[in-house]
Amino acid sequence: MMLDYKAVDLDKEERPEVLSLFPPYEGKTVLELGAGIVHFTGELAKKAGKLIALDFIEGAIKKNESINGHHKNVKFMCADPSQKALDVGCGIGGGDFYMAEKYDVHVVGIDLSINMISFALERAIGLKCAVEFDVADYTKKTYPNDTFDVIYSRDTILHIQDKPTLFKSFYKWLRPGGKILISDYCKSAGPASEELTGYIKQMGYDLHVVEAYGQMLRDADFHEVVAEDRTG
Ligand SMILES: C[S@@+](CC[C@H](N)C(=O)[O-])C[C@H]1O[C@@H](n2cnc3c(N)ncnc32)[C@H](O)[C@@H]1O
């Protein structure tokens, strides 16, 4: 890293020297580590058959992509060592501690209820796992695109009327190749009993048949959707 005020001049001199030390790579597949900081991507892309530009800092690799994205033989990747999961409507966070401890992932739990999150925070005291909690309404909260590897939600989304909009947000918050796992209440096909209809209305639930639920996810661009009735 160059912190010298003459960094630009030094870079001009050093760059050809560094490039001259590379073994021949014309037409080969090249992995550039720390690509977001060193910025050899542009030069390497001119001769490499395929270039994988990798950096641990997401902002750095995005900046690199904004400069060198026109080289179609370059794949830009962020090598974030820890996976990040979002638990939507996390309650007291039981699943979050489990995921963080068992799979060594960073988990963000979001819930509207201060009481639930207070329990979760009490439980987090002294634990070394990477869990954080947000007190917020997940229909209003936004996260930057490509933030999570996994979005998980258990028995929460039944409260939400506008599921299509929520699912589109989930899709954007997930990194490419990310996964979503939802367990939720559904209804069976055909008319519900008067008693059940009254109960659903009283609770303010928005219930769908399983296949229609899966279709909402497909409509939000999710692929390989498996919608299953697990009540049998
Ligand atoms: C039935 S509990 C499930 C909690 C947890 N997922 C579990 O499996 O133990 C539903 C949770 O969703 C939360 N919730 C409902 N609507 C929400 C919203 N719009 N934003 C954030 N949390 C919400 C509630 O506060 C509650 O903690």
Q: Which of 124-128, 182-186, 222-226 has the lowest mean pLDDT?
A: 124-128
Residue to mutate (ligand 1; options 97, 112, 137; most atoms within 8 A of CB): 112
pTM of the model: 0.71
Does position 38 have pLDDT exceeding 70, yes or no?
A: no
Q: Which of 77-86, 142-151, 220-229 has the lowest mean pLDDT?
A: 77-86
What is the C-alpha to C-alpha distance for residues 146 and 179, in angstroms, rounded to an integer? 12
CA–CA distances in Å: residue 173 to residues 71, 78, 85, 180 = 26, 15, 10, 11
Residues in the ligand 1 pocket, defined by CB under 6 Å: 89-91, 94, 110-113, 116, 137-139, 154-156, 159
- Measure 89 CA to ligand 1 centroid, in angstroms: 4
What is the C-alpha to C-alpha distance for residues 212 and 192, in angstroms, rounded to an integer? 16
| Confidence at residue 79, expressed as pLDDT on a 0 to 100 scale | 73
Considering the chain, what is the average pLDDT of its residues? 91
| Confidence at residue 78, expressed as pLDDT on a 0 to 100 scale | 80
What integer is the mean pLDDT of 18-44?
Answer: 88
Beta strands in the chain (DSSP E): 29-33, 50-55, 74-78, 84-88, 106-111, 131-135, 148-154, 174-183
Q: Which residues contact 15 (CB under 8 A, 6 or more apart)?
A: 40, 43
Does position 1 have pLDDT exceeding 50, yes or no?
A: no
Q: Which residues pair with 198 in a beta bridge?
A: none
| Closest residue to atom 20 of ligand 1, CA basis | 137
User: φ and ψ at 209, to 5 degrees?
Assistant: -75, 155
- Per-residue pLDDT band at 165 (split at 50, 70, 90): very high
Residue to mutate (ligand 1; options 97, 133, 153, 156; most atoms within 8 A of CB): 156
What is the C-alpha to C-alpha distance for residues 143 and 171, in angstroms, rounded to an integer? 11
What integer is the mean pLDDT of 211-228?
Answer: 97
What is the C-alpha to C-alpha distance for residues 79 and 24, in angstroms, rounded to an integer? 26
**Which one has a higher pLDDT value, 40 or 2?**
40
Q: What share of the chain has pLDDT > 70, as a percent?
A: 95
Does position 2 have pLDDT exceeding 60, yes or no?
A: no
Q: Tens digit of pLDDT for each residue in 109-159?
A: 999 999 999 999 999 988 888 899 999 999 999 999 999 999 999 999 999
| Confidence at residue 4, expressed as pLDDT on a 0 to 100 scale | 52
Burial (CB < 10 A; 0-12, 13-18, 19+), residue 41, is buried
- Per-residue pLDDT band at 16 (split at 50, 70, 90): confident
Q: Which of 5-14, 17-26, 75-84, 211-220 has the lowest mean pLDDT?
A: 5-14
